[in-house]
Amino acid sequence: MSTTMHTALCTLYERAKDGMTIQELETVAQLTELAGDEARRLSALCEGVACLVLSGEEAPCSAGSFQTPGGLFDLLCSLAHSLDAIGGLVEIGQEADRRVRMQLAGDEVRS
């Protein structure tokens, strides 16, 4: 992969952050929570796929998309892409939250 989702998200945020209002930064800061939700959904999906693969091994004949190296490759690449995106969401959310706190602290100092 030449450009990861994480890199793309962080690049976009870096270009936009200086022109964002506190309200926009607060919205972006919510990405941390959304990333956690997505990680939990991905975890449940992985558990379901693992159960399918296990039950496929116990069946008289194999069935399903994850019984071949190609199917597993596609699955693992998809998981890697999703986790990369989740990592980018967390990083951007944390940075936006930090900027909101700094701006609010600066406003309190000026008051």
Q: Which residue ranges of the chain lie beneath pLDDT 70?
A: 1-3, 56-66, 108-111
pLDDT of residue 108: 66
Does residue 82 contact residue 42 with C-beta atoms inside 8 Å? yes
The pTM (predicted TM-score) of the whole model is 0.78
78/45 Cα distance (integer angstroms): 12
pLDDT tens, residue by residue, 69-99: 788 888 888 899 999 999 999 999 999 999 9
18/54 Cα distance (integer angstroms): 50
- DSSP H or E segment with residue 96: helix 69-110
